[in-house]
Structure 1
Amino acid sequence: MKTSVFNSLSEFAPIKLKETCPKHPDVHLIKSRIPNHEDILCPKCVEELIKEKDKKLAERMNDRFTVERLANDSIVTDQDILNCTFDNYVVTKSEQDINKQHITAIAKKYLNKDYKGNTILSGNAGSGKTHLAYACLKFVNENSNPKQSCLFIDFNELVSKIKGNFNNKSSKWQETKLLDEIGNADLVVLDDLGSEASFKANSSESSEWNQRFLFNILNRRNRTIITTNLSGAELKEVYNAKIVSRITKGAKDNILKFKETSDKRSNMYDF
């Protein structure tokens, strides 16, 4: 008589033992009959181990899409920015101290994922706007619970990368893809907004494509930290009214001005 596959497999079915698990007294141990794998196991312990491994895998995947995005997916041209924190922001003027306290309070509000509203840091070049913006982002990235996905975007570099790859369909610098990535992040810094216009020799306005692209970013978001050398009046000269409206969305109490603080990097030219 021919033996079926099922009958053959039944020969290796585990044996239920009289002994119970020390951790789970109501669960009997089982012994495997598979050659070279004659382990004695507790089914409940095995189940818990599998669940724990699944949990760790889920946490690892969650980290990739939240806390690790700041390091992996940000667009940074000056690597020194990555070391910026509230603790190493050097205060030499009362304006700096006020702005530091202000954005520290804002950072605590952003810990709540339900908090809506943009933040604007406006004023002199080299006054520490980017430092405080990144410090705020890093604070949220490290302290929020549940975890949040944070991105730092050098806007001029982003525009340059996309324009440089318009004809490269396989490039990661595709407009639609980047809009989705920036749009779905919990908190984003758009750094140095307006510089893409100031680099143009004959016009104070940002190009039509830049305007459309920036509008599409801001239109998807309601939690964005923006740094710019431009004042409110100058933003209106550079961008159309719809974009300015979205830049200032929810930012009434979150505007930091750097009028007194001079360029920290300019001392090297004092000769």
Structure 2
Amino acid sequence: MQAIGTVIQETMATRLTWASEYCFKHDEKKFPAGIQMLERVKGSGEFECPMCFREANNKVLEQEYSELKQAQEQLAKFNTLSKRSVVPDKTILNARFNTYHLKEEEHEARTNARLMAQYADEISNGQVFNIFLNGTPGVGKSHLSYSLLHRINNNSDKMKSCLFIDFDQMLREIRASYDNPDSLYTEFYFVKLLSEVDVLVLDDLGAEIGNEHTTKKASDFIGRILRAVTNARQDKVTIVTTNLSGAKLNSIYDHKTLSRLNKNARVIKFVETKDKRRVDFGF
């Protein structure tokens, strides 16, 4: 038998030789000619396993790709509001809280504007709730809703995708797609889009049925779309503007759809505020 000291010496010699020529991780020689020449040109004086070098380089590339992908996703979220909203009245695109013009005596409208600005900040900070804005046409429901979206959309620290949809116009686009196989605006497109965004405004719900005195109910087509969207949005923020009363909404839409929209909802009512678009014809 070899002496213990001899065995230890031989083992240490083997390890030193192996460590100088091989990578413990990959069991490959550490100094292929090409790698050795490359390192000498750089003047580092050190050599490394080519596989370790590639892995380290791949990690850098993966990190860069991850950051690029995240930046692209953030940009896509930011552009959702301007690129994919359905807004027939383009003046709404300029709506901001500071352009919601009020007279001194319009206390209700001022209070409602402050509430919407507060809700915008709360939603930006991660709170999830729905909002109903109710009142006669022209009091500023759409203006304040778009202002809320704009504020949230421009909070770059806590980016959320925002979307403004004129409900009646969206339904028209879907119906038009039935006769146009090349149309992007199919039922599937809109249901997916409305289901996925973080903050959605459904503007003028009920206008697609007719005037406020109608006795009509939502068609199967309308009900199907609303059910699909509201079912998918139970953990997201949905804002509804409507001229109709709660009783009228209950007579038009099914209970399950309204129950989902009313989940954890906050209500902003315009009772005293006058129509800001009313024109005096002088007769």
- Give the TM-score normalised by structure 1: 0.78
Instruction: State the number of aligned residues.
Output: 241
Q: Contact 1:149–1:185 at 8 Å: present in 2 too?
A: yes
Matched, 1:165 2:188: no
Matched, 1:228 2:242: yes
Cα distance, 1:163–1:50 mapped onto 2, change above 3 Å: same
**Root-mean-square deviation over aligned CA pairs:** 3.0
Structure having the higher Rg:
2
Matched, 1:58 2:69: yes
Quick one: distance in 2 between partners of 1:178 and 1:155?
11
Cα distance, 1:261–1:77 mapped onto 2, change above 3 Å: same
Cα distance, 1:102–1:163 mapped onto 2, change above 3 Å: same
Q: Identify the range of structure 1 (10-19 vs 158-167) with the bigger mean alpha-carbon deviation.
A: 10-19
Matched, 1:137 2:160: no
Cα distance, 1:201–1:103 mapped onto 2, change above 3 Å: closer
State the match for 1:216 in structure 2: 228
**Gaps spanning 5+ residues in structure 1: where?**
1-9, 21-25, 29-42
Q: Contact 1:197–1:203 at 8 Å: present in 2 too?
A: no
Matched, 1:75 2:86: yes
Quick one: distance in 2 between partners of 1:144 and 1:214?
30
* More strand, by proportion: 1
Q: After TM superposition, give the deviation of residue 244 of structure 1 in Å.
A: 2.0
**Gaps spanning 5+ residues in structure 2: where?**
1-31, 48-53
After TM superposition, the structure 1 = structure 2 runs for residues 93-112 of structure 1, keeping only pairs within 5 Å, are 93-112=106-125
Quick one: distance in 1 between partners of 2:177 and 2:282?
40
Give the letter for the 1:240 counterpart: D
Q: After TM superposition, give the deviation of residue 55 of structure 1 in Å.
A: 5.1
Q: Contact 1:112–1:144 at 8 Å: present in 2 too?
A: no
Q: C-alpha deviations, 1:85-140, integer Å up to 9, x for none? A: 11111122001011011111111111134x22210100010100001001111111
After TM superposition, the structure 1 = structure 2 runs for residues 34-45 of structure 1, keeping only pairs within 5 Å, are none
Identity %: 32
* More helix, by proportion: 2
State the match for 1:153 in structure 2: 165
Cα distance, 1:250–1:58 mapped onto 2, change above 3 Å: same
**Which among 163, 181, 195 is matched to residue 193 of structure 2?**
181
Quick one: distance in 2 between partners of 1:219 and 1:201?
28
**Which among 76, 96, 115 is matched to residue 85 of structure 1?**
96
